[in-house]
Amino acid sequence: MPVFPPNKGQEVYGGKVMHTLDYSKLDKEAARELLKGKKVAVVGYKKSAIDLATECAQANQGAEGQPCTMVIRTLHWTVPAYWIWGLPFFLFYSTRSSQFLHQRPNQGLLRNLLFPLLSPVRKAVSKFIESYLVWKLPLVKYGLKPDHPFEEDYASCQMAILPENFFSEADNGKIMFKKTPRWWFWNGGLEFEDNTKLEADVVLLATGFEGKKKIQDLLPQPFSSLIVDSSGIMPLYRGTIHPLIPNMAFVGYIESVSNLQTAELRCKWLSRLADGLFKLPSIKKMLDQTSEEIEVMKKTTRFYKRHCISTFSINHSDEICEEMGWKCWRKNNWVSEAFAPYSSQDYGEED
């Protein structure tokens, strides 16, 4: 729950407030009953918020149906499908050749020299994708075109795939949008910084889960005070081990373009570490590695506190393979290695 000034929080509101975490626990019938015929406000504009708004619109079909209003503080780029101007999306960010354009940890002197020269190409790729999204989706019509480049959302794992009927429901008046930097509760719904009010029977919060705080609350001192560094980020070596708490593993916290695939490879790495097949580097080396990843994120996106490795995911997997004693290049030929995306099948067990 967001923090509000006195007399502007949930206590003054007469309707129902629910976080997406609690909403997801409802069965299909209970969820539909919560939304049907109700004025619903969905706070947020990431994947869970977009899916919620679509569900709300579907539950309010017909003459008695009420519109759902999305309350948006920060806009993000949304994608209708994994194709851009007829080209598969993976060509732009998920192959070795495409990720060569982007900064990565431990990239060496040559790549450091080349990186500034490749900046126009990176910007052109981002603009190319943006041009398709603005053409394909009514972003300008609804005031939903972000001011920041597409690459920044991709680099922070905030690119959302739209449900097929999301904008058609908006065209039918079932989904509405309210952009505002600040909001709070009043008795009948939500109030905004421009002094306008929104009546709402139900307010659904798709505002994040405070993952770091939940982990801190689980751990005793002194470990809980070590979890987050001075920049507010949780540093994890290989996305798994906190350098200052090396006997505890965190799997699935740091995001990638394919969380399941990355988590699976990290689990294989972790099992071999537990079996004593290799040892962790020194604390200093692990901290240096995590610091370098964070610096890459800071240079790539303003949303760097959402620790994500999407623009250097293949390099991340390469380094994990090296520590396990596996070969890094997993494809059968050079063409596939350069232009094909990596999947979990590429990281099968080695003899």
Q: How far is CA 28 from CA 12, 46, 53, 56, 112, in A?
A: 29, 21, 15, 12, 52
Measured over the CA atoms of residue 321, residue 322, residue 323 and residue 326, the dihedral's sign is positive
Q: Tell me: do 307 and 229 sit in the same domain.
A: yes
Measured over the CA atoms of residue 300, residue 306, residue 309 and residue 310, the dihedral's sign is negative
Q: Tell me: do 160 and 62 sit in the same domain.
A: yes
Q: Quick one: pLDDT at residue 95?
A: 94
Q: Quick one: pLDDT at residue 178?
A: 97
Q: Quick one: pLDDT at residue 214?
A: 82
Q: Quick one: pLDDT at residue 204?
A: 96
Give the distance from CA 172 to its chain's centroid: 29
Q: Quick one: pLDDT at residue 298?
A: 92
Query: How far is 74 from 181, CA to CA, in rounded Å?
Result: 8
Q: Tell me: do 176 and 234 sit in the same domain.
A: no
Q: Tell me: do 288 and 216 sit in the same domain.
A: yes
Query: How far is 327 from 321, CA to CA, in rounded Å?
Result: 6
Give the distance from CA 107 to its chain's centroid: 24
pTM of the predicted model over 0.85: yes
Q: Tell me: do 49 and 167 sit in the same domain.
A: yes
Low-confidence ranges of the chain (pLDDT < 50): none
DSSP secondary structure string, 51-107? HHHHHHHHHT-STT---EEEEESS---EESSSEETTEETHHHHSSHHHHTTS--TT-
Residue 285 lies in domain = 211-316
Q: Tell me: do 256 and 179 sit in the same domain.
A: no
Residue 31 lies in a domain: yes
Q: Quick one: pLDDT at residue 207?
A: 85
Structural domains of the chain, count: 2
Extract the runs of DSSP E, i.e. beta strands, from the chain: 16-19, 40-43, 68-72, 78-79, 83-84, 87-88, 160-161, 175-179, 183-186, 189-192, 197-199, 202-205, 241-242, 245-249
Q: Quick one: pLDDT at residue 241?
A: 96
Q: Are 169 and 57 in contact (CB under 8 A)?
A: yes
Give the distance from CA 98 to its chain's centroid: 20
Beta strand 68-72 with 175-179 is parallel
Q: Count the Cβ atoms, other than its own, within 10 Å of residue 51.
A: 18
CATH assignment at residue 175: 3.50.50.60
Q: Quick one: pLDDT at residue 229?
A: 84
Q: Quick one: pLDDT at residue 321?
A: 95
